[in-house]
Structures are given as C-alpha cells and as structure tokens.
Amino acid sequence: MQRRTLLKASMALTALGLPAFPAISAAATNASDSEPFSFDALKRRAKTMAGKAYRPTKNNQPEPLKNLTPLDYQKISFKKDHGLWAGSDAIDLRVSFFHTGMHFNTPVRMHVVDDDGQAHRVHFSPDMFDYADSGIDPASLAGKPLGFAGFRMGINKSPGHTPEYASFLGASYFRAIDRNMQYGLSARGLAINTGLPKDEEFPDFTAFWFEQPEPGSTTLTVYALLDSPSATGAYKFVIDVGNDEGTVMDIDSHLYTREAIERLGIGPMTSMFLKGTAQPAARQTISPRMHDSDRLSMWRGNGEWICRPLYNPRSLQFNTFADDNPRGFGLVQHDHDFDDYRDPVTWYNRRPSLWLEPKGDWGAGQIALMELPTLGETVDNIVTFWIPKEPVTANDHLNFAYKLYWWPEPPAEPGLATIDATWSGMGGVQEGWIPGDHNPEDYAKRFAIDFIGPELAELAKAGQTDQLAVDVSASNGEISYRAIHPLADIGGVRAVIDWRPTSQDATPVTLRAYLKQGDDARSITWLYQFQPPEPADRHY
C-alpha cells in the first residue's frame, strides 16, 4: 500500500461526491454466526495474533472490482434499508458500508454487538448495493465472501436527511467532520517506519464491532482489530457527533509487537499543503491558497505553545520536536475565510482542524513532522505523529489513550498572543521598492508574522508597539533586519524579519521567533523551516 495511491483514491471519492449516507438490516446478520464479545477479549486476541507469524488478509476480489476507476467505484451505492438500525425509530445513528474495489481490496469483517454482549457477523451480499452503471454485474458476486472495505456513520435527522459524520476506509485511515460539514485531513490507527529510507508499513483495520447505541444517543462505540507484519492492535473508539463544534473521538489503543519497530508513530495525522500565505508561489493556480491544514500546533508539556507553519519543500523534510508528556498537538486549518481561497469547488475554508489530546502519562518522546514535495492537491504530503522515546522491541505491549477533536479550531487555547498568518517575500530592500542592480551576495528573504491578541490590540491602538521586541534566531545564516508594526485593524502587530545567508550552501533554515515585552513573553513561539535557493538562483 502506498500513501499517495491510497489517499489519492480516498480524496477522489470526496471530490466526486459519494452518495448520501445510506443505511444494514437485521436480515444481514445470522444468529447462528455469533460469539461473545468484549474489549478484554479483543485485546487477548490481538496479543495472541502478535505471538504468531503475520498472515495477510487474503485478497479475493474479482478483477473487475480491482480495476474500477474512482468514478465507477463511487457509482456503487449502499441501499438505505440495509443500514444498521435503519428500521429503528428510536435509534438515530446509522452505519453503512463501503464496497470493496479499486484500491480498497482488503476485506474487512463487520459485527454488531447486542445488549447481551453477543457479536453477530454482518455478511456481505450484493443485494445490499446498487451497482448502477458501474460496470459490475451483481450476479457475478453472489455467494462470494468479499467482506466490506470500510464503513461510515451518520445521524438520521429527518426522513431522507442523514448527514455523514465519519468514515473509516483504507488501511487504518479514518476521517470526520466538524460543524462546517466538510471532510479534510485524515487520521490513522498507527504509523510504522514513516519517513525512513525503506518501505513504510501500513497496518490494516481488519475487523470492526459496533455496539448498539442507546435510543436518541449521538455516541457510537466501535471496536477495531489492527494487523500488520510488525504489530497488532485492539482499539476502542467512542465517537461523539453531538458536539456543536464537531466530532470528538475518545480512543483507547493497545498495541502488541511482533518484532522491533524502528519508528513507531502514535496518533498519526495526514494532510495536504500545496501553497499558502508564506509560500504563495509553490505552484501557479487561480486559487491563492490550497491546503487542508496550514500549520502544526503544539502545546508542550512545559506549557509552551508553538506554531509551525507548514511548508511544501523541494525534497522530503523530516523534523522532530522533543517533549515530555505533551499536552496536545494537531494539524490546524486556521483560516476559514472564503475570500482568502475563493474556491467554490473544494471549499478549503470549510476544512476541519484535528487536535490530539493525550490521556494519561505519555512520557518522553518526540512530535514528528514530515513534509513531502507536491505539485497537486490530490497528494497527501504532510504527516505528524508522536514517537515514544523508549525503543520498541518485539513482544511489547503499549497502551496509548487520547482524544481527537475534529473542530474548526483546537479546543485548547494559549494565554498569550497567537499567530494569524505568516507571509514571505523579497528582503533587503524597502517593501515594494524596485531592487535595481542586484548582487546575489546581497540576497535576503523577508518574513512577516502577524500576531493577534487582546493585549497586542491595545498596544497597537494606543501606538505603543515600541514597548514590544521580537526575539528571533536562525539555525544558520543571520538576521539582518527586524521590525514591529502595529496592525490595529486585525487586533495585533506584525513582526518583520530578514534572513540573509552567510555561506554558499542551501541547507534548510529553521527560524524561531516570539514577541516579548521586557523579559516577559507576549506571544506563542513561531517556528518555521524553509529551504533557501542555490547561490546561482539567489536573485529577485
């Protein structure tokens, strides 16, 4: 499984518009095909599997299904009257299933857990689907144990209106929406060896169990079994779609390793950043900004808040940020103003942010950020996750519990001024002036960081921004200019800095800055990495 292939297919389905959330009836289950179920039993099963050699799930998909295009695949729709609890007037939640096919060829087993703790297998039948003009003959699938590719959930708000809130499809990927009712970035159950000079491993959710919700409840409890060559896992998802801001997932994961894992990624998130305010020329498009997320936000264990704007690099960049018991981190879509995107097709202004809040003691480790180059919006090129400090060896049992908030903005807020936007341009001259004859040795790159907050707004309004200073450092090169300008119209100030190279190499540069008043910090920390041009290309 390749990340680009998998997410390109998934994003293509969103762009094409999957059918409205359908609904699986009790007829799809078999009372004789049932067994007792509990989370403890699932953990024991995962542990037992980890003690044996990995056996990949058999791919028994007919060639016509494997060769489906995204357009034809999305024509296969699930029938409403076959959805879980579709015939109940008391239960509002609905679960429907994705057909296997295209790149989603790993069959996934589905089960319903009744009030007595018995799990009933939901069996695939072509009668559950409408194949329209997809090119698939349902008669050719009759009697085949194909399984399902994944599931999605929604709420039956009124007859004919069952909006979708979350979907699990492909490997261990899943997504949810916020109050803007728009999908964006994805999460994963687990990341293994991401960003290493060898093949990345993509674990699969191979089975799900759904607890029947209480009447009128907006919370669905789902259990998942994860399997891969290196590890197995037992997961419990408590998915609440009743919050006004968006979807909240309470996740308890138990991991069991078959072998040592060089880089284990906990709580991985995958997003896309093509171009934005700090990097407007990454590709020429009619849309001024194109991204599912514009920054990595981190609330460190020591209380420090860091904003790391995302970057579309020329080559892979992998950075880690050491921490001890992080309070939270996430990929944020900060800008929700339609005028800044002017995109009436994909609606980037409606994309959710995703915030991870650890539960319990996570100990020491690192927040990792991988940024890949991309020329198109259909390729996920941003990944972030937590790496435990302790080496992961064979026969380990690791438990990580956390909450995921699919909200427009993270639920946690710093007590200091925050960052509204980052801008970049030509340095070394007055803004907007013609540079004239230019010596490459005089090359400079300018950054403007817009900080906003009530205290800054008061200083800007009173003309007292001279009380502020910008503390800035660079990993290489030098800071040749710095200034602060009031921005009362947005309730803050702008810090302007120029970076100048001091050598002939073009190694990536990390800049770090924050506002201070005397010795006191007045803003969160701005952290940015970019790759300067080669010496021959240092011109305006």
Strand ranges (DSSP E) for 272-352? Answer: 273-275, 290-291, 295-299, 305-309, 317-324, 328-332
Task: State yes or no: pLDDT of 181 exceeds 80.
Answer: yes
pLDDT tens per residue across span 87-137: 888 898 999 999 999 989 899 999 999 989 999 999 999 999 999 999 999
> Binning pLDDT at 50, 70 and 90, where does residue 14 land?
very low
Q: Are 104 and 204 in contact (CB under 8 A)?
A: no
pLDDT (mean) for 247-262 = 98
pLDDT (mean) for 283-300 = 91
pLDDT (mean) for 415-419 = 95
pLDDT value of position 6: 44
- The correct CATH number of 418-537 out of 3.30.390.10, 2.60.40.10, 2.30.30.20, 3.10.20.440 is 2.60.40.10
pLDDT value of position 437: 57
Higher-confidence position of 360 and 88 = 360
pTM as predicted: 0.92
- Among 59-68, 424-433, 509-518, the range scoring the smallest mean pLDDT is 424-433
Task: State yes or no: pLDDT of 379 exceeds 90.
Answer: no
State the chain's mean pLDDT as an integer. 90
pLDDT (mean) for 396-422 = 97
What is the CATH number that goes with domain 3-407? 2.70.98.10
CA angle at residue 213 from 87 to 235, to 5 degrees? 125
Paired tokens of 134 = 């997809």
Q: Are 118 and 35 in contact (CB under 8 A)?
A: yes
pLDDT (mean) for 268-274 = 96
pLDDT tens per residue across span 505-523: 888 999 999 999 999 999 9
pLDDT tens per residue across span 322-359: 999 999 999 999 999 999 999 998 999 999 999 999 99
pLDDT value of position 30: 56
Helix, coil or strand: residue 11: helix
Q: Where are the domains of the chain?
A: 3-407, 418-537
- Torsion sign across C-alpha atoms 338, 341, 342, 344: negative
- Per residue, the 3-state secondary structure of 164-184, as one string, reads EEEEEECCCEEEECECCCCCC
